[in-house]
Amino acid sequence: MLATVNGADDGLPPALHAKGPAVGAEGALRTFGRFVGSWQLRWHHVACDLDAVGELHVGWVLGGRAVQDVWIVPGPGQPGEGVPPHAFHGSTIRFYDSDLGAWRSTWVEPINGRVRTFLGREEDGQIVLISLDGAPLLRWRFTDIGADSFTWLGEFSRDEGRTWQLEERMLASRVRPSDAAAPQDDPTSGPTADATSRGIRSECVIGRELGSLSGGGRRWDF
């Protein structure tokens, strides 16, 4: 039976979501399938020295042939939520292309009006995704991957990939069902209180390196 929204049938959730990977595809889809679930994120912008707490949710979609994720930084109710250019609330759909032997990924993020496509592969225990369809070139990496944690690194290159500069880092911790009833980390206390208590409310000069992404050379005051 279809769910209803404002009196109209909404067939999107059952058409989009899947309970698991497609039959026979479990092995090929493990690269990103292992991240299915919910995660807490601790985000850090290296050049601007900004910090925030956010959320990541990952699930099976499109008949279990693809993986979709939603990244929200800062998370709901956090200072700076939805404020460009550093806040983001976007989604990626990823599927494995057996002809290429790689993952095709498309990132859509309306707060900052960004769409980027990536090709990704596992290399030396990490997942490396490269985007060549805009300037600068982007490299996003999943590293230090464990059952309940991983590190995400966002890098860019202005010399056709000869060198890469780290822009953002996210530390992800899996949220277990039992965690919902447990007290959550308070981002306004502890050793990182000065940074996280203000979310992404800070002054930051976006330099030449990020010009094409964030309006180059402009001072952003949250």
Within a domain: residue 183?
no
Structure tokens at 148: 């309940």
Is residue 191 pLDDT above 70, yes or no? no
pTM for the model stands at: 0.80
Question: Structure tokens of 2?
Answer: 């279809």
Does residue 2 sit within a domain? Answer: no
Q: Please list the residues that pair with 170 across neighbouring strands.
A: 43, 152
Question: What per-residue confidence (pLDDT) applies to 56?
Answer: 98
157 in a domain, yes or no? yes
Residue 4 lies in a domain: no
User: 77 is in which domain, residue-wise?
Assistant: 16-176+201-221
Per the structure, the count of domains in the chain is 1
Residue 136 covered by a domain: yes
In a domain, 181, yes or no: no
* CATH number for 148: 2.40.128.20
Average model confidence (pLDDT) across the chain: 82
pLDDT tens digits for 62-76? 999 999 999 999 999
Q: Is the pLDDT of residue 92 over 50?
A: yes
Least confident piece of the model among 6-15, 36-45, 186-195, 212-221: 212-221
Q: What does residue 139 show for φ and ψ, rounded to 5 degrees?
A: -130, 120
Return the pLDDT at 211.
33
Question: CA-CA-CA-CA torsion for 73, 137, 109, 74, nearest 10 degrees?
Answer: 10
Alpha-carbon span 151 to 93, nearest angstrom: 19
Band (pLDDT 50/70/90 cuts) for residue 180 is low
What is residue 177's predicted lDDT score, i.e. its pLDDT? 80
What is the structure's pLDDT at 199? 41
Q: How far apart are CA 45 and CA 193, in angstroms?
A: 16
**Structure confidence at residue 46 (pLDDT):** 94
First to last CA, the chain: 45
Q: What is the mean pLDDT of residues 163-168?
A: 96
Higher pLDDT, 96 or 9: 96
How many other β-carbons are positioned within 10 Å of the β-carbon of residue 122?
A: 14
Task: Please answer whether residues 119 and 103 qualify as being in contact, where contact means their C-beta atoms are separated by less than 8 angstroms.
Answer: yes
For residues 136-154, give the mean pLDDT: 97
Q: Please report whether residue 189 resides in a domain.
A: no
Q: Is 208 helix (H, G, I), strand (E, B) or coil?
A: helix
Q: Is residue 87 one of the residues assigned to a domain?
A: yes
